[in-house]
Structure 1
């Protein structure tokens, strides 16, 4: 959709955000154009013969993108592209954090023996839905992961309930993940939340912790020995109740267990609100028993999930601690400060099972995981293609800084976005192929092209 439309017959631009379409000298312009377009649609006239084209991004790019008009029930005016590829031209490039989450979901699913894919389009009736990352789980389960991060903005949350309903209708279990507290407090779908992290931290294999959206149900009898207050507002009713308690879970385990069916979505209704969160399948079964008969506690079922042990990976849930260690103090006059490598952070929760450190741990990483070394002359072994793509992106950015006109800057910004997207995609593909850390590859590439920073271990 677009807000600016070019009328090929009238040779004017129409701004749909304004009541008079930015043409006060032409009264009733919207009614005339909209009724004409509706008449063409009822007569089966093709869209490319209705005299309306995209007057924004597509026109600036020199593309003839035909459109038709639509009027929402709330009175909102919209112009819809005829082809989806023209609509995609208006979409901003995906952020590095969003890409890192997609890669992590696919990696976690593959480690659990499940298959997944990104940007999957699925037909629903006469329309389509597009899922960020779709994981094919056990027994025909399909988990559709949608990532909404801090950089998206409030406009990125339009139609969450509608998209969720379409996914469920097509047999996809929606799983929405975010790093914003206000998103996670919504109850229009099953949200999970982690801390706001940079892309290179998300892409690591450390323990990414989910701090909201997963619960453990505490089943209890409402008598004089109960700890929780009665949800019905009376002193003690004598019935059995369930109370959701906060519980952390690792993001990789959540991806794998939702695909396996050991963690499932649940709708928990209170007196005033319907809550949506994730619980274990055992808690879901006990809760269903409680709903069928609240006069007695549901029988305890054996949980097949083995207790979690101490992880050897660094936790990634508190990056601010790492950043504080990396910040070097201001040296005194005539005094030098030696930089030390950051110490690994400790897990936020105590381990349930201590594991002894292996005595034969290798002191150096394997050859496959070790990044490529620089040559004695200091020149990196990165492919010339990566260097050329990064140079092209930097050149387009310099051109943008030299422009003053708003229209010229808008057009040049799109060119810069396309060049930067190509460079970032090439870096991701190269790091994945060579099994290297993507952040280190990007850091070394920028050092070569821009001549900033110290040489890395690439």
Structure 2
């Protein structure tokens, strides 16, 4: 694979296997050469063999001597790789029709709801264009990005960060469970449908990227497993985690793309970023209801909005091998060396959640003896309003003490009393 290119504007040779690219005096060089070809001069980077008047296999094969830079994936390493244009994926007629039909459906749906919407909207310096922008009544601006073919993680990150900078909430749409945009920015996944079905209004269910918050008490009668004991036993605490609609208990109704067009613009559905804990990945992006996000923020004690700007992941970190530049043309070999299959990213798995150690105990008759966070968690876990909570007459833990189906003793204490 090619590990070097010629920079036509600066007149320099770039070694892609060195952390400074061989030019420590140019700290912005990496960002410049990895920019999307649509955002720079297509002839900025040249095949070294072509520049040195040697045989360029790509040019002799009727293709271009000009190049672009991408991250390869070889046995867990992520080297920078120079590839010839137009090696990048070019949308097929079917993909282009899918893209166009989805974009038009989003704009038309927004219009039916009385929302302001426009297709092909320039963002910022006009170097990038949002497929559709929908504006809600309170001024929320959602930038829809339909991406039905592969896009590099760095491009997803750059375009999403640019959207946020210009007061747009990015919302990426994929139809592939291995799409690189998944969990790198706010996203949803739909089925891979023929363009005609999209245009004719066939149901477009959101299969991934939208979740609901579930809160439960970890006791033997719970149908969900414990989050802190690897599913073995029950800790007596209160767990909260995010689930796709089909895995909720009971199962929730699916969310359709029309629902999200409206709810994202009105603020009823909002993006949330969930950092992962200690496993090397940056975290998860998902769309949730505003009520679920408010409850989650109360449970974890987070009062400020959770971040929506994407973070680059550790497994996307570039690997620099420190090799000598190979000045031979490697056209035709590029895919063979950097074609490790892309892993599935949309796995429908829980996020890891949050746990309160156990059901809080009312230590005294003073209302401040249980914190607001503990009271909110108990209310959600028991499925009753906060004002129906009260202490068990036996052990003092919060339970449904008032209202319909109330009792004086919790199930544990009743079992002990009945066994006497």
The answer to which structure has the higher helix fraction is 1
Higher relative contact order (CA 8 A, sep 6+): 2
Q: TM-score under structure 2 normalisation? A: 0.49
